Structure 1
């Protein structure tokens, strides 16, 4: 009987979406898999990201609807009392624990791979890499694998601002554990985490001010940032654009946080009970000894990978946020699956982000698939665009909330749709439909003449497509 050359076929560092997708795919192919996790099983999404944040956002929206319904719907009398934050957070924890158990810990047992609690670091050489695993009792074990997967995710990034270390600032992780609703809050950042957290706390009763370096949702269409700025203004959230933070301090008298920032060429101070820093995330690669085994990292610490997700060491791969690619759990999961096909089957598949959907779970939500107007122009596409205000979408009228739009970006020469962006209720579903439209290479004319169910938000895609050739203000509400 031959002795295996390695202890495992695949050794994974991390236990999030990318790690689990890889482990499931590898185990189904009969591979011996080791997964090493130094902290809580499940990674960012289930523990500190998607699941807990969206659970709290849903609760905040329910409260907001109760407060706002009287103004939107004649005949309704509703109200909302103070928030019991400990109970709300406890409910969130229960949900997280249940999903962590069912979708992660129990799955590992069902599939039968080894899940090891401990801290992993590479050792050996580039030609013969191994892992040193230090377990909770302090002992260290060295293991070898045919292939390794780094799936250690990312963590909140804190900018180097004078005084930052001297105040008790919050991150998106610690903010979701607060036991009381702050009276006021300053939010640094204008990306998806900042947007979601700002609206979350505003709807729970906090007076929120956002300090944004450029504009809200700066990576998306400018119409999106403008629409959300209007929504936030309606809800009492103050947005300070083009604010460059210069220093932070604590007020000794009140205990509040005071942020000094350059705004429109002048210096201003902003004060609040709490400070939330939501300025982005950075890959977690410290203490992995990647350089020892020939794995190169970028300026932000990300593992540098090729299109197939192979690092500069041909036996070491990376998946998810640690690559510095788009920070979505479904990207990480797709990475994990792709790595197994490439590592063990030589598939040579590359990541394709052309039709990647992205959603910011504000209310109304911001969602998009494909290119923005700017990206299409940069790609050399002579494009034509239409922006459809939601006042022309019957579902939005019925909802009595027409804040938002649907934008289609199309190739002017072929009519092929290359991008769809929406701000509105159920915008994520619009983006999902957009993925299929983009993947099929459909044209504006094709979408304008397809079936679409009346009184759905997705019907807005068809109406937006019709707006390229028709004055939609002259259409009957249910005209095809």
Structure 2
């Protein structure tokens, strides 16, 4: 017998539970299906547990620098078991809170199991057959494993399995010099592991401007992380209990021997085992669900939110997907994906906060630009904290005075960039910030200064 609901939500990541809350509050009956862990990537293997580990790594780093602040400390040691236990407390508590919220939600029925389409309106979960007027996909993504020569013959970690390590790696080899790889590289280096990062490209985080990439490379090299860039032919083999990574680079030894291997080479959507063919929903060549500006698929009653739609790869974009759908369906609004401004962070120490265009993107737009920069050595708050690495950069349209983008690499950069983002959303000129009075002493107080020192792009 088929059980009918007003809506079925597949996945309890960042968008699904909140949408269930809005729909049930509006009087609709909802079936929410989760096959593994409530909370999705962010809660279980992404933002929350990794940032808990980053916090532990920062504490170790600061303790080692105690003498710089006139604080005498003894030898600093890492209790890796306690680091991982703290991380687990953070993620398990959050996971439990989401699960309890959903299971106690009026008009929401939770099904635990693997969802598969039977037809455009029907979903099977185990022995249960469910139908709904509307279906919302929030199935997320998982680590992508490239077909490197020898990868099937060696043990390797992903961003998921590394969360369950019980011993500290002697030498961690990280393949992938982008956001996930660099965060793990720095934290494990601070925990005491030897770390080597292998990147196929000529520089780290290739989507960022070269000056940002170069500054991050210098910061991480200063901490003792080794880098192998331009690694065109990556291959793997075993050597006893160790992993041997072969690289063809312009410089350096042809092989790296490590105790552990982390593959941080991108992600793929969890859409390949939903039997989407029975729903009629289209996906692109990479498996992402194709959606329009309102996150509707080609099947009008089916929507896709979060990582699986290819329209954003962050917790905040997934949550914004929920907001767009809820506003359009329940509030009579007309919100769309293109309304949002690209923004994200790289959570190494110091962090990178990004909003809008990079300088490279702005130059390609053909606009007449004004650019302002300021090193963190000239930010009083950074000097007081003894954390002066990095810089600020802002980009403005010279004709309209519109803020096009900002990069803040430095202490509290991930927080400070938000004030720029708010002015961008308000559609106000950059002079709104130059006329503002910010609190002293903070990192944010230098943002009006950097906007007040704009120069034409050459």
Which TM class, normalised by the smaller chain length? over 0.9
8 Å Cα contact 1:208/1:237 also seen in 2: yes
Task: Select the residue among 300, 304, 309 that pairs with 1:314.
Answer: 300
In the TM superposition, what is the alpha-carbon distance from 1:176 to its structure 2 partner?
2.0
Deviations for 1:230-273, whole angstroms, at most 9, x for unmatched residues?
11011101122222243111113xx2111111212898211111
Structure 2 counterpart of 1:97 = 92
8 Å Cα contact 2:342/2:357 also seen in 1: no
Structure 1 counterpart of 2:162 = 175
Task: Select the residue among 349, 357, 360 that pairs with 1:374.
Answer: 360
Partner SS state of residue 170, structure 1: coil
Deviations for 1:102-134, whole angstroms, at most 9, x for unmatched residues?
24433441444111111110012x4xx311111
Deviations for 1:7-64, whole angstroms, at most 9, x for unmatched residues?
1111011111111121112112111110011112111111111111001110111011
Are residues 10 and 354 of structure 1, via their aligned partners in 2, closer, same or farther at CA, if it must alter by over 3 Å? closer
RMSD of aligned Cα (Å): 2.0
Task: Select the residue among 218, 237, 240 that pairs with 2:228.
Answer: 240
Task: Select the residue among 107, 114, 122 that pairs with 2:117.
Answer: 122
Structure 2 counterpart of 1:436 = 422
In the TM superposition, what is the alpha-carbon distance from 1:343 to its structure 2 partner?
4.5
Structure 1 counterpart of 2:214 = 226
Structure 1 counterpart of 2:378 = 392
Structure 1 length normalisation: TM-score?
A: 0.90
Structure 1 counterpart of 2:191 = 204
Distance (Å, rounded) in 2 between the aligned partners of 1:300 and 1:142: 29
Count the aligned residue pairs: 454
8 Å Cα contact 2:37/2:95 also seen in 1: no
8 Å Cα contact 1:373/1:383 also seen in 2: no
Task: Select the residue among 65, 82, 89 that pairs with 1:87.
Answer: 82
Question: Is residue 342 of structure 1 aligned with residue 313 of structure 2?
Answer: no
Structure 1 counterpart of 2:319 = 333
Structure 2 counterpart of 1:278 = 264
Are residues 80 and 52 of structure 1, via their aligned partners in 2, closer, same or farther at CA, if it must alter by over 3 Å? farther
Task: Select the residue among 54, 57, 60 that pairs with 2:57.
Answer: 60
Distance (Å, rounded) in 2 between the aligned partners of 1:165 and 1:6: 43
Are residues 200 and 265 of structure 1, via their aligned partners in 2, closer, same or farther at CA, if it must alter by over 3 Å? closer
Are residues 80 and 177 of structure 1, via their aligned partners in 2, closer, same or farther at CA, if it must alter by over 3 Å? farther
Partner SS state of residue 262, structure 1: coil
Distance (Å, rounded) in 1 between the aligned partners of 2:107 and 2:92: 21
Structure 2 counterpart of 1:473 = none
Deviations for 1:151-187, whole angstroms, at most 9, x for unmatched residues?
1001011111111111110111111211111111110
8 Å Cα contact 2:122/2:129 also seen in 1: yes
8 Å Cα contact 1:354/1:371 also seen in 2: no
| Between 334-343 and 91-100, the greater mean CA deviation after superposition | 334-343
Distance (Å, rounded) in 1 between the aligned partners of 2:404 and 2:291: 27
Partner SS state of residue 244, structure 1: coil
After superposition, residues 184-195 of structure 1 pair within 5 angstroms as: 184-195=171-182
Are residues 222 and 460 of structure 1, via their aligned partners in 2, closer, same or farther at CA, if it must alter by over 3 Å? farther
Distance (Å, rounded) in 2 between the aligned partners of 1:319 and 1:183: 39
Are residues 11 and 464 of structure 1, via their aligned partners in 2, closer, same or farther at CA, if it must alter by over 3 Å? same
Q: Which runs of 4+ in 1 moved over 6 A?
A: none
Partner SS state of residue 122, structure 2: strand
| Between 323-332 and 195-204, the greater mean CA deviation after superposition | 323-332
Unaligned runs of 5+ in 1: 135-139, 471-480
Distance (Å, rounded) in 2 between the aligned partners of 1:400 and 1:53: 24
Partner SS state of residue 417, structure 2: helix
Question: Is residue 161 of structure 1 aligned with residue 145 of structure 2?
Answer: no
In the TM superposition, what is the alpha-carbon distance from 1:295 to its structure 2 partner?
0.6
| Between 187-196 and 264-273, the greater mean CA deviation after superposition | 264-273
| Between 203-212 and 373-382, the greater mean CA deviation after superposition | 373-382
Structure 2 counterpart of 1:33 = 30
8 Å Cα contact 2:372/2:455 also seen in 1: no
Distance (Å, rounded) in 1 between the aligned partners of 2:339 and 2:210: 21
Distance (Å, rounded) in 2 between the aligned partners of 1:324 and 1:103: 24
Question: Is residue 133 of structure 1 aligned with residue 125 of structure 2?
Answer: yes
Structure 2 counterpart of 1:268 = 254
